[in-house]
Amino acid sequence: MTAPTTFRIGGDLEVRRLGFGAMRLRPGDDEEAHAAHIAVARRAVELGVTLIDTAHLYGWGANEDLLAEALHPYPDDLVIATKVGIRHTATGEGWRHAGEPADLRVQVDEALRRLRLDRIELLQLHRLDPAVPIPDQLGALRDLRDEGKVGRIGLSEVTTAQLAEAQAVVDIASVQNRYNLLDRDYEPVLKACEAAGIAFLPWRPAAAGQSGAMAEIAAVAKEADATPTQVVLAWLLAHSPVIVPIPGTTSIAHLEENVGAGAVHLTQEQYERLDRVAATETP
């Protein structure tokens, strides 16, 4: 099976289909660790990654700061996608929803400053705020898009009903939900994205690859001369043309392994065997 190598987010923003999730990268007091995380971000770009996913939540801005330190000025073809809609708290779970229009506007300005950008090409709402009507939240992001601060708008962790309600307010370019070979609860959302041409960015996309002892995954990996992680990422690429995986790591070796999944070509028979894994095995 030969899967497309690129996808046009929003119909016009072309990225390679294997992106990089930067969540685990952090600046810090340890100079060696800091330099290592900078090196991972730079190596991702060297390997041809053109989509890097970050968020305000990841270190409360520290992740965005690190990416700017590592990569600015950005290559022309590099898309830094970030997320807003969550604020830090000193109590409870450590965070709260923050979907009020005025707050979203401030968060976008903060992200632009940290990332050293004039425009965020893909801005995703990290979580819908249950206390704020969806039209108000998406309307605020639509206004920011119309002002030129945002290029395209995405969502994260949404249902098909929430996606439909958001689409009634503004064009949705991407959805970022948890999804992998063994965790397909959001299959209906993926199908809705396929129907609308919306990019589907699964987080934890390689989780099943950590279960290398699972017989079928291990067998296909051996046949394909690949690692279990590469095989489950290749399955995602073959499963739907709108899937844009964003595996993350703090290791250059693991980064290279992940990006190498793009060169793994599954046969139809191998794809079908993997496709049956979730129904026959548990992690």
| Nearest by Cα to 139 from 107, 98, 169, 97 | 169
| Catalytic annotation, residues | 58
- Quote the CA–CA distance of 117 and 172 in Å, as a whole number: 21
Give the β-pairing of 199-200 and 13-16.
unpaired
3-state secondary structure 207-241: HHHHCCCCHHHHHHHHHCCCCHHHHHHHHHHHHCC
Q: Using alpha carbons, select from 196, 184, 118, 119 the residue that is nearest to residue 155.
A: 196
Can you tell me the distance from the alpha carbon of 20 to that of 35, in angstroms, rounded to the nearest whole number? 18
**What CA dihedral angle connects 189, 280, 2 and 246, to 10 degrees?**
50
Q: How far apart are CA 204 and CA 202, in angstroms?
A: 7
Reduced to 3 states (helix: H, G, I; strand: E, B; else coil), residue 278 is helix
Pairing verdict, β 79-84 and 6-9: unpaired
Q: Peptide bond preceding 73: is omega within 30 degrees of 0, i.e. cis?
A: yes
> Is residue 64 a contact partner of residue 52, using CB atoms and an 8 Å limit?
no
